[in-house]
Chains A and B, each alone.
Chain A
Amino acid sequence: MTEATLTAALSDHAPTANRWRFVHVVRRNYLVWRKLIGSALVGHLADPLIWLVGLGFGLGSLLPSIGGLSYMAFLGSGMLCYSVMNSASFEGLWSAFTRLKMQRTWEAILQAPMTVADVVIGEWVWAASKAMLSGIAILLVMALLGLVESFAALWVLPVLLLVGLAFGGLALIVTALAKSYDVFTYYFSLLLMPMMLISGVFFPAEQLPKIVHYIAQIFPLVHATQLTRGLVVGTPLDNIPLHTFVLVIYAVASVVVAIWLVERRLAK
Protein backbone atom coordinates (compact mmCIF):
# COMPACT_ATOMS: atom_id res chain seq x y z
CA MET A 1 0.00 0.00 0.00
CA THR A 2 1.44 3.38 -0.92
CA GLU A 3 1.31 6.26 1.51
CA ALA A 4 -1.18 8.15 -0.68
CA THR A 5 -3.77 5.34 -0.64
CA LEU A 6 -3.10 4.91 3.06
CA THR A 7 -3.94 8.53 3.74
CA ALA A 8 -7.08 8.13 1.67
CA ALA A 9 -8.04 5.03 3.67
CA LEU A 10 -7.52 6.99 6.84
CA SER A 11 -9.85 9.78 5.87
CA ASP A 12 -12.46 7.08 5.18
CA HIS A 13 -12.05 6.04 8.79
CA ALA A 14 -12.81 9.53 10.04
CA PRO A 15 -16.50 8.88 10.87
CA THR A 16 -15.60 6.42 13.64
CA ALA A 17 -13.22 8.96 15.08
CA ASN A 18 -15.65 11.28 16.80
CA ARG A 19 -16.10 12.80 20.20
CA TRP A 20 -17.94 9.70 21.53
CA ARG A 21 -14.76 7.65 21.74
CA PHE A 22 -14.82 7.94 25.54
CA VAL A 23 -17.80 5.55 25.50
CA HIS A 24 -15.38 2.66 24.76
CA VAL A 25 -13.70 3.32 28.11
CA VAL A 26 -17.04 3.52 29.96
CA ARG A 27 -18.04 0.27 28.33
CA ARG A 28 -14.80 -1.47 29.27
CA ASN A 29 -15.30 -0.56 32.92
CA TYR A 30 -18.96 -1.55 32.78
CA LEU A 31 -18.05 -5.00 31.43
CA VAL A 32 -15.64 -5.56 34.33
CA TRP A 33 -18.26 -4.33 36.81
CA ARG A 34 -20.82 -6.73 35.35
CA LYS A 35 -18.47 -9.64 36.03
CA LEU A 36 -18.35 -8.71 39.69
CA ILE A 37 -22.06 -7.92 39.91
CA GLY A 38 -22.65 -9.84 43.14
CA SER A 39 -20.28 -7.87 45.32
CA ALA A 40 -21.14 -4.68 43.43
CA LEU A 41 -24.82 -4.95 44.26
CA VAL A 42 -24.16 -5.77 47.89
CA GLY A 43 -22.03 -2.65 48.02
CA HIS A 44 -24.71 -0.54 46.34
CA LEU A 45 -27.79 -1.87 48.11
CA ALA A 46 -26.99 -3.64 51.35
CA ASP A 47 -24.48 -1.12 52.60
CA PRO A 48 -26.65 2.01 52.46
CA LEU A 49 -29.68 0.03 53.59
CA ILE A 50 -27.91 -1.09 56.76
CA TRP A 51 -26.71 2.44 57.47
CA LEU A 52 -30.06 4.00 56.81
CA VAL A 53 -32.11 1.52 58.80
CA GLY A 54 -29.53 1.15 61.56
CA LEU A 55 -28.86 4.83 62.11
CA GLY A 56 -32.37 5.91 61.16
CA PHE A 57 -34.25 3.66 63.58
CA GLY A 58 -31.57 3.54 66.25
CA LEU A 59 -30.57 7.16 66.41
CA GLY A 60 -33.79 8.51 64.90
CA SER A 61 -35.93 7.21 67.76
CA LEU A 62 -33.87 9.30 70.19
CA LEU A 63 -34.08 12.47 68.12
CA PRO A 64 -36.87 14.98 67.66
CA SER A 65 -37.94 15.83 64.14
CA ILE A 66 -35.67 18.21 62.28
CA GLY A 67 -37.63 21.16 60.89
CA GLY A 68 -40.74 19.00 60.70
CA LEU A 69 -38.82 16.19 59.04
CA SER A 70 -38.34 12.75 60.60
CA TYR A 71 -34.67 11.93 61.23
CA MET A 72 -34.98 9.01 58.83
CA ALA A 73 -36.07 11.32 55.99
CA PHE A 74 -33.34 13.82 56.88
CA LEU A 75 -30.70 11.12 57.01
CA GLY A 76 -31.87 9.35 53.84
CA SER A 77 -31.66 12.47 51.72
CA GLY A 78 -28.19 13.21 53.13
CA MET A 79 -27.05 9.63 52.58
CA LEU A 80 -28.05 9.90 48.93
CA CYS A 81 -25.37 12.54 48.35
CA TYR A 82 -22.90 10.99 50.72
CA SER A 83 -23.00 7.61 49.08
CA VAL A 84 -22.78 9.08 45.55
CA MET A 85 -19.77 11.10 46.72
CA ASN A 86 -18.18 8.04 48.28
CA SER A 87 -18.77 5.77 45.33
CA ALA A 88 -17.52 8.28 42.72
CA SER A 89 -14.46 9.07 44.82
CA PHE A 90 -13.60 5.42 45.37
CA GLU A 91 -13.88 4.69 41.65
CA GLY A 92 -11.84 7.75 40.66
CA LEU A 93 -9.13 6.98 43.24
CA TRP A 94 -8.43 3.31 43.93
CA SER A 95 -9.99 1.79 40.82
CA ALA A 96 -8.72 4.39 38.34
CA PHE A 97 -5.23 4.33 39.88
CA THR A 98 -5.16 0.54 39.54
CA ARG A 99 -5.93 0.93 35.84
CA LEU A 100 -3.39 3.72 35.45
CA LYS A 101 -0.45 2.29 37.35
CA MET A 102 -0.87 -1.36 38.31
CA GLN A 103 -2.61 -2.80 35.25
CA ARG A 104 -1.36 -0.19 32.75
CA THR A 105 -4.82 -0.29 31.18
CA TRP A 106 -4.70 3.38 30.17
CA GLU A 107 -1.31 2.86 28.53
CA ALA A 108 -2.75 0.02 26.44
CA ILE A 109 -5.78 2.11 25.44
CA LEU A 110 -3.53 4.99 24.37
CA GLN A 111 -1.66 2.73 21.93
CA ALA A 112 -4.95 2.54 20.04
CA PRO A 113 -6.38 5.63 18.30
CA MET A 114 -7.56 7.07 21.60
CA THR A 115 -6.44 10.21 23.42
CA VAL A 116 -5.81 11.01 27.09
CA ALA A 117 -8.98 13.13 27.05
CA ASP A 118 -10.99 10.10 25.81
CA VAL A 119 -9.62 7.96 28.67
CA VAL A 120 -10.09 10.53 31.44
CA ILE A 121 -13.57 11.56 30.28
CA GLY A 122 -14.49 7.86 30.05
CA GLU A 123 -13.31 7.26 33.62
CA TRP A 124 -15.12 10.41 34.80
CA VAL A 125 -18.44 9.44 33.22
CA TRP A 126 -18.05 5.87 34.47
CA ALA A 127 -17.32 6.97 38.05
CA ALA A 128 -20.43 9.17 38.01
CA SER A 129 -22.63 6.49 36.42
CA LYS A 130 -21.57 3.86 38.92
CA ALA A 131 -22.07 6.34 41.77
CA MET A 132 -25.57 7.09 40.51
CA LEU A 133 -26.44 3.43 40.98
CA SER A 134 -25.66 3.83 44.67
CA GLY A 135 -27.91 6.86 44.77
CA ILE A 136 -30.73 5.10 42.94
CA ALA A 137 -30.48 2.16 45.34
CA ILE A 138 -30.95 4.47 48.34
CA LEU A 139 -33.77 6.31 46.61
CA LEU A 140 -35.52 2.96 46.15
CA VAL A 141 -35.02 2.04 49.79
CA MET A 142 -36.38 5.43 50.85
CA ALA A 143 -39.41 5.01 48.58
CA LEU A 144 -40.07 1.58 50.09
CA LEU A 145 -39.91 3.10 53.57
CA GLY A 146 -42.42 5.76 52.46
CA LEU A 147 -39.96 8.61 52.84
CA VAL A 148 -40.24 10.00 49.30
CA GLU A 149 -42.80 12.77 48.77
CA SER A 150 -43.73 12.25 45.12
CA PHE A 151 -42.49 11.24 41.70
CA ALA A 152 -41.03 14.71 41.43
CA ALA A 153 -38.19 13.21 43.46
CA LEU A 154 -36.95 11.73 40.18
CA TRP A 155 -35.60 15.22 39.44
CA VAL A 156 -32.87 14.29 41.86
CA LEU A 157 -31.32 11.93 39.30
CA PRO A 158 -29.59 14.64 37.22
CA VAL A 159 -28.44 16.22 40.49
CA LEU A 160 -26.87 12.92 41.59
CA LEU A 161 -25.15 12.64 38.21
CA LEU A 162 -23.67 16.09 38.76
CA VAL A 163 -22.54 15.13 42.26
CA GLY A 164 -20.88 12.02 40.83
CA LEU A 165 -19.16 14.04 38.10
CA ALA A 166 -17.93 16.64 40.59
CA PHE A 167 -16.43 14.10 43.00
CA GLY A 168 -15.30 11.77 40.22
CA GLY A 169 -13.39 14.64 38.62
CA LEU A 170 -11.80 15.68 41.92
CA ALA A 171 -10.76 12.09 42.57
CA LEU A 172 -9.17 11.84 39.12
CA ILE A 173 -7.08 14.93 39.89
CA VAL A 174 -5.74 13.21 43.01
CA THR A 175 -5.12 10.01 41.02
CA ALA A 176 -3.22 11.94 38.34
CA LEU A 177 -0.88 13.29 41.02
CA ALA A 178 -0.63 10.12 43.14
CA LYS A 179 2.56 8.10 43.44
CA SER A 180 0.90 5.31 45.41
CA TYR A 181 -2.41 4.38 47.07
CA ASP A 182 -1.34 5.99 50.36
CA VAL A 183 -2.37 9.50 49.40
CA PHE A 184 -5.98 8.40 48.88
CA THR A 185 -6.38 7.67 52.57
CA TYR A 186 -5.32 11.25 53.33
CA TYR A 187 -7.76 12.60 50.75
CA PHE A 188 -10.60 10.62 52.31
CA SER A 189 -9.73 11.27 55.97
CA LEU A 190 -8.59 14.87 55.73
CA LEU A 191 -10.89 16.25 53.03
CA LEU A 192 -13.98 14.14 52.35
CA MET A 193 -14.76 13.13 55.96
CA PRO A 194 -14.57 16.66 57.40
CA MET A 195 -16.51 17.92 54.40
CA MET A 196 -19.21 15.39 55.13
CA LEU A 197 -19.44 16.51 58.79
CA ILE A 198 -19.93 20.19 57.92
CA SER A 199 -22.26 19.71 54.95
CA GLY A 200 -25.45 18.63 56.70
CA VAL A 201 -25.42 14.95 55.80
CA PHE A 202 -26.02 13.37 59.23
CA PHE A 203 -27.14 16.48 61.13
CA PRO A 204 -28.18 20.03 60.15
CA ALA A 205 -25.17 22.20 59.37
CA GLU A 206 -26.90 25.07 61.17
CA GLN A 207 -25.82 23.37 64.43
CA LEU A 208 -22.24 24.34 63.68
CA PRO A 209 -20.53 27.69 64.34
CA LYS A 210 -21.32 30.30 61.67
CA ILE A 211 -17.75 30.35 60.36
CA VAL A 212 -17.76 26.59 59.71
CA HIS A 213 -21.08 26.98 57.99
CA TYR A 214 -19.56 29.56 55.63
CA ILE A 215 -16.48 27.43 54.94
CA ALA A 216 -18.74 24.55 53.97
CA GLN A 217 -20.19 26.69 51.15
CA ILE A 218 -16.86 26.52 49.30
CA PHE A 219 -17.22 22.75 48.90
CA PRO A 220 -19.66 20.97 46.60
CA LEU A 221 -21.26 18.59 49.12
CA VAL A 222 -23.37 21.16 50.98
CA HIS A 223 -24.89 22.32 47.70
CA ALA A 224 -25.60 18.74 46.77
CA THR A 225 -27.39 17.99 50.06
CA GLN A 226 -29.47 21.20 49.85
CA LEU A 227 -30.71 20.34 46.35
CA THR A 228 -31.27 16.68 47.11
CA ARG A 229 -33.11 17.22 50.34
CA GLY A 230 -35.42 19.74 48.70
CA LEU A 231 -36.18 17.48 45.76
CA VAL A 232 -36.65 14.21 47.65
CA VAL A 233 -38.26 15.03 50.98
CA GLY A 234 -39.62 18.50 50.18
CA THR A 235 -37.64 20.86 52.40
CA PRO A 236 -37.78 24.45 51.10
CA LEU A 237 -35.65 24.80 47.98
CA ASP A 238 -33.98 28.10 47.35
CA ASN A 239 -30.87 29.20 45.52
CA ILE A 240 -31.32 26.41 42.98
CA PRO A 241 -29.21 28.22 40.32
CA LEU A 242 -26.38 28.83 42.79
CA HIS A 243 -26.27 25.21 44.03
CA THR A 244 -26.40 23.88 40.49
CA PHE A 245 -23.78 26.35 39.31
CA VAL A 246 -21.31 25.30 42.03
CA LEU A 247 -21.74 21.61 41.18
CA VAL A 248 -21.36 22.25 37.43
CA ILE A 249 -18.22 24.32 38.00
CA TYR A 250 -16.68 21.58 40.16
CA ALA A 251 -17.58 18.89 37.65
CA VAL A 252 -16.26 20.66 34.55
CA ALA A 253 -13.21 22.32 36.08
CA SER A 254 -12.07 19.13 37.78
CA VAL A 255 -12.17 17.03 34.64
CA VAL A 256 -10.36 19.69 32.63
CA VAL A 257 -7.60 19.84 35.24
CA ALA A 258 -7.49 16.03 35.48
CA ILE A 259 -7.04 15.68 31.70
CA TRP A 260 -4.22 18.21 31.77
CA LEU A 261 -2.50 16.47 34.70
CA VAL A 262 -2.77 12.99 33.22
CA GLU A 263 -1.44 14.28 29.89
CA ARG A 264 1.51 15.76 31.73
CA ARG A 265 2.08 12.58 33.74
CA LEU A 266 1.94 10.24 30.74
CA ALA A 267 4.02 12.43 28.41
CA LYS A 268 7.12 11.60 30.42
Chain B
Amino acid sequence: MLSVSNLNKRYGDLDVVKNLSFDVPSGQCFGLLGPNGAGKTTTLRCCLGHTKPDSGTIRLAGLPVPERAREARMRVGVVPQFDTLDPDFTVTENLIVYGRYFGLSKRECLARVPKLLDFAGLTDKANARIEELSGGMKRRLTLARAMINDPAVLFLDEPTTGLDPQARHLVWDRLKMLLNEGRTIVLTTHFMDEAQRLCDRVAIIDHGTLITEDAPRALIEREIEPVVVEVYGEGVEEWFNEHAHAHSSRAELAGDTAFCYCRDPEPLMKTLESKPELRALRRAANLEDVFLKLTGRDLRD
Protein backbone atom coordinates (compact mmCIF):
# COMPACT_ATOMS: atom_id res chain seq x y z
CA MET B 1 0.00 0.00 0.00
CA LEU B 2 2.95 2.26 0.76
CA SER B 3 6.47 1.58 -0.31
CA VAL B 4 9.42 3.86 0.29
CA SER B 5 12.89 3.13 -1.03
CA ASN B 6 16.16 4.99 -0.63
CA LEU B 7 14.44 8.19 0.43
CA ASN B 8 16.75 11.17 0.97
CA LYS B 9 15.91 14.70 2.04
CA ARG B 10 18.29 17.39 3.14
CA TYR B 11 17.61 20.93 4.38
CA GLY B 12 20.71 23.05 3.99
CA ASP B 13 23.54 21.09 5.58
CA LEU B 14 21.27 18.79 7.55
CA ASP B 15 20.30 15.33 6.31
CA VAL B 16 16.77 15.04 7.65
CA VAL B 17 16.10 11.70 5.97
CA LYS B 18 18.95 9.44 4.92
CA ASN B 19 18.49 6.45 2.64
CA LEU B 20 15.26 5.40 4.30
CA SER B 21 13.37 2.36 2.98
CA PHE B 22 10.30 0.55 4.27
CA ASP B 23 7.19 -1.21 3.04
CA VAL B 24 3.70 -1.16 4.48
CA PRO B 25 1.54 -4.03 3.20
CA SER B 26 -2.20 -3.59 2.88
CA GLY B 27 -4.16 -3.98 6.12
CA GLN B 28 -1.21 -3.47 8.46
CA CYS B 29 -0.52 -0.87 11.08
CA PHE B 30 2.96 0.54 10.69
CA GLY B 31 4.61 2.78 13.27
CA LEU B 32 7.39 5.26 12.61
CA LEU B 33 9.15 5.81 15.93
CA GLY B 34 11.92 8.21 16.70
CA PRO B 35 12.93 11.04 19.03
CA ASN B 36 12.01 14.64 18.20
CA GLY B 37 13.78 15.72 15.04
CA ALA B 38 14.40 12.16 13.85
CA GLY B 39 12.70 12.85 10.52
CA LYS B 40 9.29 11.24 11.13
CA THR B 41 7.16 14.18 10.04
CA THR B 42 9.38 14.90 7.02
CA THR B 43 9.03 11.26 5.97
CA LEU B 44 5.23 11.48 6.23
CA ARG B 45 5.24 14.73 4.25
CA CYS B 46 7.27 13.07 1.50
CA CYS B 47 4.89 10.09 1.42
CA LEU B 48 1.90 12.42 0.93
CA GLY B 49 3.63 14.49 -1.75
CA HIS B 50 3.88 17.70 0.30
CA THR B 51 7.67 17.70 0.33
CA LYS B 52 9.72 16.71 -2.68
CA PRO B 53 12.48 14.27 -1.76
CA ASP B 54 16.00 14.85 -3.07
CA SER B 55 16.12 11.24 -4.23
CA GLY B 56 14.35 7.93 -3.73
CA THR B 57 11.07 6.46 -4.88
CA ILE B 58 7.70 6.35 -3.15
CA ARG B 59 4.57 4.52 -4.20
CA LEU B 60 1.34 5.21 -2.36
CA ALA B 61 -1.88 3.32 -3.17
CA GLY B 62 -0.29 2.08 -6.37
CA LEU B 63 0.76 5.50 -7.63
CA PRO B 64 4.16 7.20 -7.81
CA VAL B 65 4.65 10.10 -5.37
CA PRO B 66 5.13 13.02 -5.70
CA GLU B 67 4.25 12.79 -9.43
CA ARG B 68 0.69 11.57 -8.84
CA ALA B 69 0.39 12.40 -5.14
CA ARG B 70 -2.82 14.35 -5.59
CA GLU B 71 -4.61 11.36 -7.10
CA ALA B 72 -3.13 9.02 -4.51
CA ARG B 73 -4.61 11.23 -1.76
CA MET B 74 -8.10 10.39 -3.09
CA ARG B 75 -7.69 7.08 -1.21
CA VAL B 76 -5.87 8.49 1.82
CA GLY B 77 -7.02 10.02 5.10
CA VAL B 78 -4.71 12.23 7.16
CA VAL B 79 -4.80 13.18 10.84
CA PRO B 80 -2.19 15.92 11.24
CA GLN B 81 -0.24 16.58 14.40
CA PHE B 82 -1.92 19.95 14.99
CA ASP B 83 -5.60 20.79 15.04
CA THR B 84 -6.68 21.99 11.60
CA LEU B 85 -10.45 21.92 12.09
CA ASP B 86 -12.36 24.86 10.69
CA PRO B 87 -13.38 27.02 13.70
CA ASP B 88 -16.00 28.89 11.66
CA PHE B 89 -18.05 25.75 11.04
CA THR B 90 -20.02 23.32 13.19
CA VAL B 91 -19.03 19.67 13.56
CA THR B 92 -21.28 18.53 10.69
CA GLU B 93 -20.28 21.44 8.47
CA ASN B 94 -16.63 20.57 8.97
CA LEU B 95 -17.30 17.10 7.56
CA ILE B 96 -19.34 18.35 4.60
CA VAL B 97 -16.93 21.11 3.60
CA TYR B 98 -14.02 18.68 3.82
CA GLY B 99 -15.84 16.07 1.73
CA ARG B 100 -16.17 18.59 -1.10
CA TYR B 101 -12.39 18.71 -1.43
CA PHE B 102 -12.66 15.06 -2.46
CA GLY B 103 -15.26 15.91 -5.07
CA LEU B 104 -18.13 14.55 -2.95
CA SER B 105 -21.50 16.26 -3.24
CA LYS B 106 -23.32 17.59 -0.19
CA ARG B 107 -25.81 14.74 -0.52
CA GLU B 108 -23.03 12.12 -0.52
CA CYS B 109 -21.39 13.76 2.49
CA LEU B 110 -24.66 14.03 4.42
CA ALA B 111 -25.24 10.33 3.84
CA ARG B 112 -21.88 9.55 5.44
CA VAL B 113 -22.11 12.01 8.35
CA PRO B 114 -24.27 10.02 10.83
CA LYS B 115 -21.99 6.98 10.63
CA LEU B 116 -18.88 9.12 11.04
CA LEU B 117 -20.32 11.01 14.01
CA ASP B 118 -21.29 7.70 15.60
CA PHE B 119 -17.77 6.38 14.97
CA ALA B 120 -16.29 9.49 16.61
CA GLY B 121 -18.77 9.41 19.50
CA LEU B 122 -19.95 12.90 18.52
CA THR B 123 -23.57 12.27 17.58
CA ASP B 124 -24.73 14.61 20.37
CA LYS B 125 -22.37 17.28 19.11
CA ALA B 126 -23.50 17.27 15.46
CA ASN B 127 -24.34 20.97 15.52
CA ALA B 128 -21.82 22.10 18.12
CA ARG B 129 -19.20 24.70 17.33
CA ILE B 130 -15.58 23.58 17.31
CA GLU B 131 -14.65 25.76 20.29
CA GLU B 132 -17.16 23.83 22.43
CA LEU B 133 -15.27 20.56 21.89
CA SER B 134 -12.65 19.11 24.24
CA GLY B 135 -9.20 18.14 22.98
CA GLY B 136 -10.22 14.49 22.71
CA MET B 137 -13.39 15.34 20.80
CA LYS B 138 -11.44 17.50 18.35
CA ARG B 139 -9.00 14.68 17.71
CA ARG B 140 -11.87 12.24 17.13
CA LEU B 141 -13.55 14.70 14.78
CA THR B 142 -10.27 15.07 12.88
CA LEU B 143 -10.19 11.28 12.60
CA ALA B 144 -13.80 11.24 11.38
CA ARG B 145 -12.96 13.98 8.89
CA ALA B 146 -10.07 11.88 7.59
CA MET B 147 -12.60 9.07 6.99
CA ILE B 148 -15.02 11.14 4.87
CA ASN B 149 -13.59 9.69 1.62
CA ASP B 150 -13.63 6.11 2.94
CA PRO B 151 -9.83 5.86 2.64
CA ALA B 152 -7.81 2.70 2.20
CA VAL B 153 -4.82 4.19 4.05
CA LEU B 154 -4.71 6.48 7.07
CA PHE B 155 -1.72 8.61 8.04
CA LEU B 156 -1.66 9.74 11.66
CA ASP B 157 1.00 12.09 12.98
CA GLU B 158 1.16 11.64 16.77
CA PRO B 159 -2.55 10.87 17.08
CA THR B 160 -2.79 10.93 20.88
CA THR B 161 -0.29 13.61 21.90
CA GLY B 162 -1.87 15.90 24.49
CA LEU B 163 -4.84 13.64 25.27
CA ASP B 164 -5.77 12.29 28.69
CA PRO B 165 -5.74 8.49 29.25
CA GLN B 166 -9.49 8.13 28.69
CA ALA B 167 -9.31 9.99 25.39
CA ARG B 168 -6.23 8.05 24.28
CA HIS B 169 -7.91 4.71 24.91
CA LEU B 170 -10.94 5.80 22.92
CA VAL B 171 -8.75 6.82 19.97
CA TRP B 172 -6.87 3.49 20.14
CA ASP B 173 -10.17 1.65 20.19
CA ARG B 174 -11.31 3.47 17.04
CA LEU B 175 -8.03 2.83 15.26
CA LYS B 176 -8.36 -0.88 16.04
CA MET B 177 -11.85 -0.80 14.50
CA LEU B 178 -10.38 0.67 11.34
CA LEU B 179 -7.68 -2.00 11.23
CA ASN B 180 -10.35 -4.69 11.64
CA GLU B 181 -12.11 -3.24 8.61
CA GLY B 182 -8.94 -3.99 6.64
CA ARG B 183 -7.60 -0.47 6.35
CA THR B 184 -3.91 0.33 6.43
CA ILE B 185 -2.54 2.71 9.06
CA VAL B 186 0.77 4.54 9.09
CA LEU B 187 1.42 6.43 12.31
CA THR B 188 4.18 8.31 14.02
CA THR B 189 4.35 8.40 17.78
CA HIS B 190 6.76 8.71 20.61
CA PHE B 191 4.52 6.80 22.98
CA MET B 192 5.96 3.32 22.97
CA ASP B 193 2.92 1.79 24.68
CA GLU B 194 0.83 3.15 21.81
CA ALA B 195 3.11 1.59 19.20
CA GLN B 196 3.27 -1.72 21.07
CA ARG B 197 -0.52 -1.82 21.34
CA LEU B 198 -1.44 -0.89 17.77
CA CYS B 199 1.39 -1.62 15.38
CA ASP B 200 2.03 -4.82 13.47
CA ARG B 201 5.46 -3.47 12.62
CA VAL B 202 7.51 -0.55 13.82
CA ALA B 203 10.53 1.20 12.35
CA ILE B 204 12.81 3.06 14.74
CA ILE B 205 14.52 5.99 13.04
CA ASP B 206 17.02 8.47 14.42
CA HIS B 207 18.89 11.27 12.64
CA GLY B 208 16.95 10.37 9.50
CA THR B 209 18.28 6.81 9.34
CA LEU B 210 16.43 3.56 9.87
CA ILE B 211 17.95 1.82 12.90
CA THR B 212 15.76 -1.26 12.96
CA GLU B 213 12.39 -2.52 11.80
CA ASP B 214 10.28 -5.44 13.01
CA ALA B 215 7.18 -6.48 14.93
CA PRO B 216 7.25 -4.89 18.43
CA ARG B 217 7.40 -8.27 20.18
CA ALA B 218 10.18 -9.51 17.92
CA LEU B 219 12.15 -6.32 18.51
CA ILE B 220 11.89 -6.72 22.27
CA GLU B 221 12.99 -10.34 22.07
CA ARG B 222 15.83 -9.61 19.71
CA GLU B 223 17.21 -6.33 20.98
CA ILE B 224 16.94 -6.57 24.73
CA GLU B 225 17.06 -8.82 27.80
CA PRO B 226 13.60 -9.95 28.97
CA VAL B 227 13.66 -8.47 32.49
CA VAL B 228 14.38 -4.98 33.71
CA VAL B 229 15.12 -4.10 37.33
CA GLU B 230 14.87 -0.42 38.19
CA VAL B 231 16.59 0.55 41.45
CA TYR B 232 16.44 3.88 43.20
CA GLY B 233 16.89 5.36 46.68
CA GLU B 234 19.66 6.53 49.02
CA GLY B 235 23.08 5.12 48.02
CA VAL B 236 21.99 3.74 44.67
CA GLU B 237 25.22 4.87 43.03
CA GLU B 238 27.36 2.88 45.47
CA TRP B 239 25.22 -0.22 45.00
CA PHE B 240 25.31 0.26 41.23
CA ASN B 241 29.09 0.38 41.09
CA GLU B 242 29.40 -2.68 43.27
CA HIS B 243 26.76 -5.08 41.88
CA ALA B 244 24.92 -3.89 38.79
CA HIS B 245 27.35 -4.94 36.09
CA ALA B 246 28.23 -8.18 37.81
CA HIS B 247 24.66 -9.49 37.84
CA SER B 248 23.08 -8.04 34.71
CA SER B 249 24.05 -8.18 31.06
CA ARG B 250 23.67 -4.43 30.73
CA ALA B 251 23.17 -1.69 33.31
CA GLU B 252 23.03 2.08 33.28
CA LEU B 253 22.57 4.83 35.79
CA ALA B 254 20.23 7.58 34.59
CA GLY B 255 19.83 10.35 37.14
CA ASP B 256 18.94 8.68 40.44
CA THR B 257 17.72 5.44 38.93
CA ALA B 258 19.70 2.37 37.95
CA PHE B 259 18.35 0.34 35.02
CA CYS B 260 19.58 -3.26 34.99
CA TYR B 261 18.71 -5.49 32.04
CA CYS B 262 19.02 -9.19 32.73
CA ARG B 263 17.88 -12.70 31.77
CA ASP B 264 17.78 -13.95 35.35
CA PRO B 265 17.16 -11.22 37.91
CA GLU B 266 17.46 -13.44 41.01
CA PRO B 267 21.19 -12.89 41.77
CA LEU B 268 20.68 -9.15 41.38
CA MET B 269 17.61 -9.15 43.62
CA LYS B 270 19.63 -11.01 46.27
CA THR B 271 22.15 -8.14 46.49
CA LEU B 272 19.25 -5.82 47.27
CA GLU B 273 17.99 -7.83 50.25
CA SER B 274 20.57 -6.31 52.60
CA LYS B 275 19.75 -2.76 51.38
CA PRO B 276 16.32 -1.82 52.69
CA GLU B 277 16.92 1.84 51.79
CA LEU B 278 16.89 0.94 48.08
CA ARG B 279 13.62 0.39 46.29
CA ALA B 280 13.44 -1.95 43.31
CA LEU B 281 10.92 -2.40 40.54
CA ARG B 282 11.12 -5.60 38.55
CA ARG B 283 9.24 -5.70 35.25
CA ALA B 284 9.19 -7.21 31.77
CA ALA B 285 11.19 -5.36 29.12
CA ASN B 286 9.09 -3.28 26.73
CA LEU B 287 9.41 -1.32 23.53
CA GLU B 288 10.47 1.80 25.41
CA ASP B 289 13.54 -0.05 26.70
CA VAL B 290 14.41 -1.03 23.13
CA PHE B 291 13.86 2.54 21.98
CA LEU B 292 16.08 4.01 24.69
CA LYS B 293 18.77 1.42 24.06
CA LEU B 294 18.84 2.23 20.34
CA THR B 295 18.43 6.01 20.44
CA GLY B 296 20.11 6.81 23.77
CA ARG B 297 18.86 8.73 26.78
CA ASP B 298 20.03 12.18 25.73
CA LEU B 299 17.39 14.87 25.48
CA ARG B 300 16.44 16.03 21.96
CA ASP B 301 15.11 19.54 22.02
Report the minimum CB–CB distance from B181 to chain A (whole Å): 12
Does B213 have its Cβ within 8 Å of any Cβ on chain A?
A: no
Q: Count how many chain B residues have C-beta atoms less than 8 Å from C-beta atoms of the other chain.
A: 37
Cβ-defined contact, B101 with A113, below 8 A: yes
CB nearest neighbor in B for A106: B84
Does B298 have its Cβ within 8 Å of any Cβ on chain A?
A: no
Does B215 have its Cβ within 8 Å of any Cβ on chain A?
A: no
Which residues of chain B have C-beta atoms less than 8 A from A110's C-beta?
50
Cβ-defined contact, B70 with A114, below 8 A: yes
Cβ-defined contact, B63 with A31, below 8 A: no
Cβ-defined contact, B70 with A113, below 8 A: yes
Cβ-defined contact, B74 with A113, below 8 A: yes
Whether A24 touches B70, Cβ cut-off 8 Å, given contacts A3-B61, A107-B80, A267-B51, is no
Among B52, B74, B85, B149, residue most surrounded by chain A Cβ atoms (within 10 Å): B74
Cβ-defined contact, A6 with B86, below 8 A: no
Q: Count how many chain A residues have C-beta atoms less than 8 Å from C-beta atoms of the other chain.
A: 34
Which residues of chain A have C-beta atoms less than 8 A from B74's C-beta?
10, 13, 17, 113
Q: Give Cα distance in the complex from A17 to B104, angstroms.
A: 11
Cβ-defined contact, A108 with B100, below 8 A: no
Cβ-defined contact, A112 with B75, below 8 A: no
Interface SS of chain B: helix, strand, loop or mixed? loop
Whether A111 touches B86, Cβ cut-off 8 Å, given contacts A7-B62, A17-B71, A31-B97, is no
Does B191 have its Cβ within 8 Å of any Cβ on chain A?
A: no
Cβ-defined contact, B80 with A267, below 8 A: no
Which residues of chain A have C-beta atoms less than 8 A from B50's C-beta?
110, 266-267
Chain B residues numbered 38-66 whose CB sits less than 8 Å from any CB in chain A: 48, 50-52, 61-63
Q: Give Cα distance in the complex from A222 to B97, angstroms.
A: 39
CB nearest neighbor in A for B87: A103
Q: Give Cα distance in the complex from A108 to B265, angstroms.
A: 51
Q: Give Cα distance in the complex from A6 to B153, angstroms.
A: 12
Report the minimum CB–CB distance from B5 to chain A (whole Å): 16
Which residues of chain B have C-beta atoms less than 8 A from A13's C-beta?
71, 74, 103
Cβ-defined contact, B86 with A7, below 8 A: no
Does A153 have its Cβ within 8 Å of any Cβ on chain B?
A: no
Which residues of chain B have C-beta atoms less than 8 A from A24's C-beta?
100-101
